[in-house]
Amino acid sequence: VTRVHVWGASGYAAAEAIRLLSRHPVVELGALESRSHAGEPVGDHFAQLRNVPRCFDGPGSVLSSLAPGDVVVTAGNAGESAQLIPPALARGARAIDLSADYRLDPAAAYGLPEWNRAHIADAALVANPGCYPTAAALSLLPLASLGRVRTIVIDAKSGVSGAGRTPRVDTLFAEVSGDVRPYGLDGHRHQPEIEHTLQLAGIDASVVFTPHVVPIVRGMLVDAYAVFGQAVDAERVRDVFDRAYEGSPFVRVLGAGRVPSVPSVVGTNEAELYVDVRDEVVRVVCAIDNLGKGAAGQAVQNLNVMLGLAEVTGLDARAVLS
């Protein structure tokens, strides 16, 4: 039994990781380190985890309980992972980092299994992608073989849990309700990760990225528009998507007449993709759970790949009927 520790355990993604790991059939929950909630019952902070009979552990608990072969899931603020991960690796553990610290770092495997399984399997350190980059990459990487993309427009709509649990005026119920709010118009922190991932795949287009907060808690929908310099063949596009994801259990490329549904993926590690072509534009619509495939679900998928387990292990829950 592999022990999996969670570090920086007070946010939404960490709580989702605890939920998934506490029901994972193979691994065992290790330390749940939280600076702010040390010693307090997990269920006092996350009502949905009331039946997890654990308290948060205090500072230093992950490192002190770590054994070779353990895995650490790190979910701290920017810059914090760099404090924990090197000593953890030095003790023979492996790490999956939910923060952005290592996403552009060649020393880490980029944790998008659909496009990087082999590296993840052997990696000591996996950089779990951001939620927007996950949806963007699943939507756009199949296009690399179709010719030169001139411009890419990514118009994304995210649930507010993506903004974290630290209280702010702009994430209060009274501010989010009734609004559809564009943000980061001057540049979102995920844009370099999106562009980096596209470039690795050979897509070197100008990217216009507009994220929005919508009044839902979880889940996101990303509409990606790839403007080619010439008309694109719809069947060929369809074909590259089908082939790209035929061995990927979590990605559903939808058939005609079906559109991605955010509620169909919330609480799961699934992604739904719709693709069509309008003259020179390939339009791809992708639904994922920002805390699932966009964070903790993908972390568990990466964990499964790292441990040589079936990717769906512990990730087979149905979405909860609204």
Active site residues: 131
By CB under 8 A, residue 58 contacts a second copy: no
The CA distance from 71 to 28, in Å, is 10
Among the listed ranges 62-70, 88-96, 102-110, 161-169, the one in contact with a second copy (CB under 8 A) is 161-169
* The two structure tokens encoding residue 81: 């992972």
Stretch that binds a second copy, among 57-65, 120-128, 152-160, 233-241 (CB under 8 A): 152-160
User: In the set 29, 38, 89, 227, which binds a second copy (CB under 8 A)?
Assistant: 227
Residue 83 one-letter amino acid = Q
By CB under 8 A, tell whether 47 contacts a second copy: yes
Q: How far is the CB of 15 from a second copy (least distance, A)?
A: 5
Name which of 307, 220, 316, 236 is nearest 27 in CA terms: 307
As given in the structure block, the two tokens for residue 87 are 């000593």
Q: How many CA atoms lie within 13 A of 226 on its CB side?
A: 28
Closest CA to 31 of 66, 68, 75, 80: 66
Q: Which residue, 110 or 274, is less far from a second copy as judged by CB?
A: 274
Q: Which two tokens stand for residue 277?
A: 């072509």
**1: CB partners within 8 A, 6+ apart:** 26, 27, 28
From candidates 5, 157, 188, 293, binder to a second copy by CB under 8 A = 157
Q: How far is the CB of 123 from a second copy (least distance, A)?
A: 27
Stretch that binds a second copy, among 57-65, 181-189, 193-201, 300-308 (CB under 8 A): 181-189
Our finding on whether 90 is near a second copy (CB under 8 A) is no
Gyration radius (Cα) of the chain, Å: 19
Establish if 176 lies at the interface with a second copy (CB under 8 A): yes
Q: How many chain residues are in contact with a second copy, going by CB under 8 A? A: 84
Buried b (16+ CB within 10 A) or exposed e, 290-312: bbbbbbbbbbbbbbbbbbebebe
Output the smallest distance, CB 289 to a second copy, in A.
9
- Which residue's CB is nearer to a second copy, number 2 or number 151? 151
Q: Is 318 in the site for a second copy (CB under 8 A)?
A: yes
Counting contacts by CB under 8 A, is residue 263 touching a second copy?
A: yes
- 295 binds a second copy, rule: CB under 8 A: no
